[in-house]
A and B are shown apart, each in its own frame.
Chain A
Amino acid sequence: MSAQRVNSTLPARGGVGLKAEHYRTILNSKPDMGFFEVHAENYMGAGGPPHGYLEAIRRDYPLSIHGVGLSIGGANPLNKNHLARLKALVDRYDPGMFSEHLAWSTHDTQYYNDLLPLPYTDVTLQQVVEHIDETQTHLGRQMLLENPSAYVTFTQSTYEETEFLNEIVKRTGCGLLLDVNNVFVSATNFGSSPEGYIDRFPVEHVQEIHLGGYAPDTDERGYPLLIDAHDRKVADPVWALYARTIGRTGPLPTLIEWDADIPTWDVLAFEAEQADVTMQSHVQAEKRRGSYASGI
Chain B
Amino acid sequence: MFKQRKDGVVMPQVSDSKQENRDLKGYVTALRDLGGNLRGYVEFSQGLLEPSLPVPNGVVGRDGAVSQMRYGVYRNNVMASLIDALAANFPALHNLVGRDYFRALAAEFVRAHPPEQPVLSEFGDKFSEFIAGFSPLANYPYLKDVATMEWAWLGAYHSADHEGMAVDALSKIDPELLGDVVFTAIPASSLVYSPFALSEIWEQNRSEKVTGVMPKTNQAILICRPDMDVTLIGLAQDVAEFAELLFAGETLGEAAEEVSSRFDTFDLSAALSCLLAARVFASVSDKASA
Residue positions of A touching B, CB distance < 8 A: 41-42, 44-52, 68-71, 74-79, 81-82, 85, 104-114, 116-117, 119, 121-124, 126-127, 130, 151-156, 189-191, 219-221, 223, 225, 227
Does B44 touch A at the CB level, under 8 Å?
yes
Contact among A114, A124, A130, A154 for B58, CB-based, below 8 A: A154
Write out the residue numbers on chain B whose beta carbons fall within 8 Å of the beta carbon of A113.
77-78, 81-82, 85, 115, 118, 120
Residue of B nearest to A51 (CB): B161
From residue B219, how far is it (CB to closest CB) to chain A in Å? 25
The answer for the CA separation of A47 and B230 in the assembled complex, in Å, is 12
Residue positions of B touching A, CB distance < 8 A: 1-2, 4, 7-10, 33-34, 36-38, 40-42, 44-45, 48, 58-65, 67-71, 73-74, 77-78, 81-82, 85, 114-121, 157-162, 187-188, 225, 228-229
From residue B223, how far is it (CB to closest CB) to chain A in Å? 13
Write out the residue numbers on chain A whose beta carbons fall within 8 Å of the beta carbon of B58.
119, 154-156
Q: Given known contacts A41-B120, A46-B187, A114-B77, is B159 in contact with A107 (CB within 8 Å)?
A: no
Contact among A46, A71, A75, A152 for B71, CB-based, below 8 A: A152
Contact among B10, B60, B160 for A153, CB-based, below 8 A: B60
Write out the residue numbers on chain A whose beta carbons fall within 8 Å of the beta carbon of B63.
191
Contact among A44, A123, A130 for B37, CB-based, below 8 A: A123
The reply to whether A74 and B41 form a contact with Cβ atoms under 8 Å apart is: yes
The reply to whether B228 and A220 form a contact with Cβ atoms under 8 Å apart is: no
The reply to whether B70 and A152 form a contact with Cβ atoms under 8 Å apart is: yes
Most buried by B among A48, A77, A79, A221: A48
Write out the residue numbers on chain B whose beta carbons fall within 8 Å of the beta carbon of A85.
119
From residue A115, how far is it (CB to closest CB) to chain B in Å? 8
Write out the residue numbers on chain B whose beta carbons fall within 8 Å of the beta carbon of A81.
117
Write out the residue numbers on chain A whose beta carbons fall within 8 Å of the beta carbon of B67.
152, 219-221
Q: Given known contacts A110-B114, A126-B2, A151-B61, is B37 in contact with A48 (CB within 8 Å)?
A: no
The reply to whether B60 and A111 form a contact with Cβ atoms under 8 Å apart is: no
Residue of B nearest to A221 (CB): B65
The reply to whether B119 and A44 form a contact with Cβ atoms under 8 Å apart is: yes
Contact among A105, A130, A154 for B59, CB-based, below 8 A: A154
Contact among B65, B69, B73, B78 for A112, CB-based, below 8 A: B78
What are the nearest 8 A-B pairs in CB distance? A69-B118, A77-B8, A45-B158, A47-B161, A46-B160, A107-B45, A114-B77, A151-B70
Write out the residue numbers on chain B whose beta carbons fall within 8 Å of the beta carbon of A79.
117-118
